[in-house]
Amino acid sequence: MAQTGVLLRRLQGIATIRSGANRAQMVTAALMAGEGRLTSSGALAVTTGAYTGRSPKDKYIVRDALTDPHVWWENSGAMAPAQFDLLLEDMLSFTTGRALYHEQLSAGADPAFRMAVSVFTETAWHALFIRNLLIRDAGEGAPMAATILHLPGFVADPVRHGTRTGTVIALDMSRNIVLIGGTHYAGEIKKSVFSLLNFHAPLNGVFPMHCSANVGPDGSTALFFGLSGTGKTTLSSDPSRPLIGDDEHLWSGSGVANIEGGCYAKTANLSAAAEPEIFAATKRFGTVIENVVIDEASGEPDFADLSLTENTRAAYPLDLLSSVAPGGLGAPPRSVVFLTADAFGVLPPIARLTPEQAAYHFLSGYTAKVAGTERGVTEPTATFSACFGAPFMSHHPHVYGDLFVRRLAEGGAQVWLINTGWIGGAFGVGKRIDIAATRRLVDAALSGELDTAAMRVDPNFGFEVPLAVAGLPKRLLDPRANWSDAGAYDTAAASLARMFEANMRRFEREAVAAE
Closest C-alpha to 183, from 195, 165, 162: 165
Note the helical H segments in 348-416: 355-364, 397-411
Task: Name the average pLDDT for the chain.
Answer: 93
Residue of 102, 184, 191, 241 marked catalytic: 191
What pTM did the predictor assign? 0.92
Residue of 210, 241, 352, 395 marked catalytic: 210
Residue of 174, 228, 323, 447 marked catalytic: 228
The torsion of the CA quartet 163, 165, 166, 172, rounded to 10 degrees, works out to -30
164 is catalytic: no
Q: What pLDDT score does 373 carry? A: 43
Residue of 118, 233, 383, 385 marked catalytic: 233
Distances (CA, A) of 315 to 220, 287, 387: 27, 6, 24
Q: What pLDDT score does 513 carry? A: 45
Q: What pLDDT score does 515 carry? A: 45
233 is catalytic: yes
54 is catalytic: yes
247 is catalytic: yes
Residue of 59, 184, 190, 232 marked catalytic: 232
HSE value, Cβ hemisphere, 13 Å, CA-based, for 66? 14
CA 77 to chain CA centroid, Å, is 20
Residue of 48, 52, 54, 121 marked catalytic: 54
Q: Considering the domain 2-207+266-320 in this protein, what is its CATH number?
A: 3.40.449.10
Residue 179, amino acid:
L
307 is catalytic: no
Q: What pLDDT score does 401 carry? A: 96
Domain 332-514, CATH number (from 3.90.228.20, 3.10.20.30, 3.30.70.1710, 3.20.20.10): 3.90.228.20
Q: Which portions of the chain are predicted below pLDDT 50?
A: 371-378, 511-515
Angstrom distance (rounded) from CA 187 to CA 260:
13
456 is catalytic: no
Angstrom distance (rounded) from CA 389 to CA 363:
10
Check if the beta carbon of residue 398 is closer than 8 Å to that of residue 72.
no
Residue of 110, 238, 247, 458 marked catalytic: 247
Q: What pLDDT score does 2 carry? A: 59
Residue of 313, 352, 361, 398 marked catalytic: 313
Closest C-alpha to 125, from 193, 32, 17, 15: 32
Q: What is the pLDDT of residues 191-225, one digit of tens each?
A: 999 999 999 999 999 999 999 999 999 999 999 99
- The full set of domain ranges for the chain reads 2-207+266-320, 332-514
Bridge partners, residue 79, by sequence: 62
Q: What pLDDT score does 380 carry? A: 76
Q: What pLDDT score does 371 carry? A: 47
